[in-house]
Amino acid sequence: MHANVPKIAAHTGCGQAPDNTVASFEEGIASGAAIVEVDIRLTKDRVAVLLHDDSPLLQQYSYEELNQLEQRVQLHPSYQDYELARLEDVLRLTGGDGVQLNLDMKSQDAIDPALQLVLSLGMADRVFVTGCSEGTAKRYESIRVLYNAPITVDFSAESSYTQYARTVCQTALELGYYGLNLNASTCRQELVELAHASGLVVWVYTVNEAAAMEKLVRMGVDAITTREVQTLAGVLQLAGERIS
C-alpha cells in the first residue's frame, strides 16, 4: 500500500442540487471534501460564471441579462429554480473554512477574467486550475495549474503507454505545470511514479466506483475527483486502517 493519501475533490453536483449552482457548491463544502470542483465559462461582459456546456447565449448577453429567468432557463431547465452562479459568488463563500477550489476552465477566454479575479481577492493559494489552460501556468505562476493529459491515445502496446507517460510529464514540465490531471482510463502506476519523480502531482477524474478508487489509492495519486464523496472517504478510511 502506498503511503500517500489522496485528497478528495468533490465534483460539481456531488449532492442533490444541480451542477454548477451555489447550492451544489455548498453541498460540496458540506461533504467534507478538501477540494470542490466547478466549471467556468464567460459571459458577454466578461463575467466568469459556473457553467459546463457552451451556449450562444453567453456571447449575446451580459451576466445580469443572462441571469434573468427567461434567458437562463434556455441554458438548462434547472435554472427555473436556481440563479446562474458567478465565480465571485463561490470564491467568497469559501471564507476561512479552508476548502480549496478546482476551476475547470471550459473555454480559453475565461482564463484571464477568472484568474485575475482570484488574484484580486488574494485567493491564489486556494485555487487549482484544470481544463483549458494553454499558456496559463507560466503567466500565472502563483496559481497551481494542472495539465489535462490527452485521452484519445492507443495503448495497445506497452511501449506506447511508456511513451505517453514520458510525453505528458515532459510537456507538463516544459510548460510550467504544477501537475497532471488524468482521465481515470489513462492512469497507471508507471505514469504516477514518473510524474512524482519529476516533481509533478497526479490528479484523476471522475471516479465514482469504489473498486476504481481503491486501485488509484494503491497507485499513490494525489487527488481523486468524484461525485461519490462518501464512498471515497470510506475507501480512504479502510486504506488508512490497512497501512496502520
| Structural domains of the chain in order of their starting residue, each with its CATH number | 7-243 (3.20.20.190)
pTM for the full predicted model: 0.94
Compute the radius of gyration of the chain from its Cα atoms.
18
Closest by CA position to 26, among listed 110, 106, 85: 85
Interval 91-138: pLDDT, tens: 999 876 689 999 999 999 999 999 999 999 999 999 999 999 999 999
Does residue 227 contact residue 13 with C-beta atoms inside 8 Å?
Answer: yes
CB atoms within 10 A of CB 133: 21
| Mean of pLDDT over the chain | 94
Interval 167-219: pLDDT, tens: 999 999 999 999 999 999 999 999 999 999 999 999 999 999 999 999 999 99
In terms of C-beta density within 10 A (0-12 exposed, 13-18 middle, 19 or more buried), how is residue 120 classed? exposed
Which positions ≥6 away from 244 have C-beta within 8 Å? none
